[in-house]
Structure 1
């Protein structure tokens, strides 16, 4: 029912929808320092204001929850469905090629720009699904609420704030992942570690190492400053590790006889570390093979490298490799690291299957590190999330997906944690089709335009089927 009307609607309103997505992408909305009335900085607050103004202009009921979250209600009826999206983005590097991160570009059937796929594009697509139901005068017996957050990428303080005020709907989906339906999200342990030691004074030595910007982003860059070597002495080590890892190294010689080595890999989301080439673990691979003077600091660095060797995504070296039939294998990635002559610190991101516990994951890592005088923080594992594939809610979503995509629907388990992770009856649903690579969290992020339009149709049908008696 309503398929022809929905198809025709998005044929007519496609360009309008794309233009509105572009207007939101133009707003740089990665998290910044909090200021009065803007808990995550000006950018996220500005993006939220723009989206709410857009929705209000469409005739919807909007509310701003102190610039943490904004809501867009279809009606004032009893709430039946929440759609949970976000307008904040991860930081963007200067290495984009097709366009600049906040200058959206439509080219070759793709919409480029930071947030086009994660999650500004899907957020506006969901808004247009509400608009389609409204403009087509399709009666709903229950309300649909689109919730727009502003801190999904940095800990979801926004949603914590919102759900202290509001109750979750009987059903929630988040268009912040892949089709068909993701009903299992692995647990997460993103912990810090540190070590202190006597200053390294003997040459050759490592002066400092720095890499990483976010715990959930595999770093594509890393730098190390060393002294006591010259360019010729290190050339063979660079060539060997480049060949082994695919990481590219460049060397800059400073006037004070120090060498700065820069590593360039490729970024990825921490839930799929195998899709990147971790510059940080690549540079540690290089350093552990070089003949630095023996010191406590160098030993600690080498121990970190042993726990997180380049290319080990499943925790085999750190003795936490595990899997189960429902949710698959554990993944782990070292994503932030700092080292100087008196200490080191780092952050790893682990996505853990349903079988993981504090005892068989966190405590194993803690005890292993403690033996090497490296102290792990006491963060608890966030447990995995699971919604039954046999529920009416999930079956309805799969039916809508199959109807418009022409593909077989199925439930998936992922390593990524979405907004619905802590919701009793929440799943991730779209906007990316199976097999599509959109450079999420990386350079030249894009959304496939046909998939955005298809998602709008699927969401519109889902709203009708879930909120009509």
Structure 2
């Protein structure tokens, strides 16, 4: 097998080019638009069409061949391929979550600051996707004959429902083995179940002019805002309101705007989060500003008071292999209808068997009904799980440990990736455990947060691990790649 130090030297020699190519795609706003899903040229909007064109152009610039699957996804490869079902594919995605507010840097003009890249998507998932491409470039430039062809597949709607991979699976054959470069090292062998619901109720209060929070259903919101008519607030309540240390108060003519600030985080990584919805609703209830809407607001408070379902009595003591995380993530108010998006990630096992999420969903429906909401299930994905003792999982974990010098074992997570859609697939990097991020402010610097950042050196090491892993896989027979 190739010497690790020589591989590392090659990777670092490409540092400037890697940064350049990440910038080429980060500088394109590629939020997937599924509300106006169109066929062929722009199924997920122009931004995703442009970014896929640019990614495939980068592949061609590096001497690869490419295929465009009607702008749902694209493939980059360099060998004359055998049948796809006898190949290995690395998967990444080019779509991003909306930038949101409170950035100190330009989200779609990538910044290089010291050892960090900053911009929407540098970490999730454009940086790792370019990293995977350069792992393939090493194999190509080194002239290593691959017993099993390897290619890179890039999708355009991972953040909004994975319609890209659904389209691919429906119309094309799957590879023998898939590696998803959209998590952390070493091997992710399981993903929590996902329940995403939408609660709706009609409010009779005409004093509410606006009510909104969050920009994506899978992130704890950093800000929540309500605009009320001044006339609904008595002089006494106004004095109490001004004494609040949790709300930003802005008055303009006949209205008053109340804003709560929290700390954003992905719903699967909530340990440092503060839900702005919970802060705002708690103050609305404490100050008795909307007494006629108390029942609905109390329901929303239960779903946003903590990120573990404790206040809402959703936690199941029989859960294992993961923890329940999530809560209310978005609020919209239009034509007197209040809509609340709720996203929970539930553990893989209950009483030692794979969870089905039924009890959690039933509890959410009861809570919704008692608070006066109708409940619409937008998404329910069961957990994905492969036993960690599989030889291939152990082999890839060993590669990571030998290159990094770290002893982390395989793990499970609350996030969701293409892994759960694909047969015979694992998550594998490219983030290192205890990754370094550029955190100028609390709630900034990580993926899905303002000022999303990526440590350049850690990405370089991730590419080294990938190259070593691909070389290891090249020593195996197709039959050795089967996990089930």
Structure 1 SS opposite 2:14: helix
Q: Distance in 2 between matches of 1:395 and 1:293?
A: 56
Superimposed CA distance per residue, residues 43-90 of structure 1 (whole angstroms, 9 cap, x where no aligned partner): 111111111111122222210000010011242135331111001111
Structure 2 SS opposite 1:328: coil
The answer as to whether partners of 1:142 and 1:467 remain within 8 angstroms in 2 is yes
In structure 2, the residue matched to 1:254 is: 252
Q: Distance in 1 between matches of 2:239 and 2:149?
A: 65
Displacement after TM superposition at 1:190 (Å): 0.6
Show the 5 A alignment for 1:43-442: 43-75=47-79, 76-78=81-83, 79-97=86-104, 99-197=105-203, 199-200=204-205, 206-227=208-229, 228-229=232-233, 233-234=237-238, 236-237=240-241, 239-240=243-244, 242=246, 249-256=247-254, 258-292=255-289, 294-295=291-292, 297-305=293-301, 307-310=302-305, 312-322=306-316, 326-339=320-333, 342-354=336-348, 355=350, 356-379=355-378, 381-436=380-435, 437=437, 438-442=445-449
In structure 1, the residue matched to 2:470 is: 463
Show the 5 A alignment for 1:437-456: 437=437, 438-456=445-463
Distance 1:191 1:462, change over 3 A: same
Displacement after TM superposition at 1:317 (Å): 2.4
Range that drifts further, 352-361 or 109-118: 352-361
Structure 2 unaligned regions, length at least 5: 438-444, 477-484
Superimposed CA distance per residue, residues 334-381 of structure 1 (whole angstroms, 9 cap, x where no aligned partner): 011134684322110100112343431111211232233311114563
In structure 2, the residue matched to 1:246 is: none
Displacement after TM superposition at 1:289 (Å): 0.9
Superimposed CA distance per residue, residues 30-53 of structure 1 (whole angstroms, 9 cap, x where no aligned partner): 124445610111111111111111
Superimposed CA distance per residue, residues 221-268 of structure 1 (whole angstroms, 9 cap, x where no aligned partner): 1111123226874454465562xxxxxx22121212x21112222211
In structure 1, the residue matched to 2:441 is: none
Distance 1:453 1:231, change over 3 A: farther
The answer as to whether partners of 1:323 and 1:353 remain within 8 angstroms in 2 is no
Distance 1:397 1:293, change over 3 A: closer
Q: Distance in 2 between matches of 1:175 and 1:92?
A: 22
The answer as to whether partners of 2:165 and 2:421 remain within 8 angstroms in 1 is no
Q: Distance in 2 between matches of 1:273 and 1:416?
A: 11
Q: Distance in 1 between matches of 2:315 and 2:267?
A: 16
The answer as to whether partners of 2:275 and 2:304 remain within 8 angstroms in 1 is no
Displacement after TM superposition at 1:326 (Å): 4.8
Show the 5 A alignment for 1:11-26: 11-26=12-27
Q: Distance in 2 between matches of 1:62 and 1:73?
A: 6
Distance 1:373 1:129, change over 3 A: same
Q: Distance in 1 between matches of 2:320 and 2:173?
A: 29
The answer as to whether partners of 2:148 and 2:474 remain within 8 angstroms in 1 is yes
Q: Distance in 2 between matches of 1:207 and 1:28?
A: 31
Structure 2 SS opposite 1:273: coil
Q: Distance in 1 between matches of 2:11 and 2:219?
A: 34
Q: Distance in 2 between matches of 1:254 and 1:353?
A: 46
TM (normalized to structure 2)? 0.88
TM (normalized to structure 1)? 0.91
The answer as to whether partners of 2:319 and 2:347 remain within 8 angstroms in 1 is no
Structure 2 SS opposite 1:377: strand
- Count, aligned residues: 454
Structure 1 SS opposite 2:250: strand
RMSD over equivalenced CA pairs, Å: 2.1
Distance 1:57 1:230, change over 3 A: same
Q: Distance in 1 between matches of 2:360 and 2:21?
A: 44
Superimposed CA distance per residue, residues 84-118 of structure 1 (whole angstroms, 9 cap, x where no aligned partner): 10011111134222x31111122121111111101
The answer as to whether partners of 1:192 and 1:376 remain within 8 angstroms in 2 is yes
Structure 2 SS opposite 1:329: coil
Structure 1 SS opposite 2:217: coil
Superimposed CA distance per residue, residues 313-333 of structure 1 (whole angstroms, 9 cap, x where no aligned partner): 111222220266752211122
The answer as to whether partners of 2:260 and 2:280 remain within 8 angstroms in 1 is yes
The answer as to whether partners of 2:196 and 2:377 remain within 8 angstroms in 1 is no
The answer as to whether partners of 1:399 and 1:409 remain within 8 angstroms in 2 is no
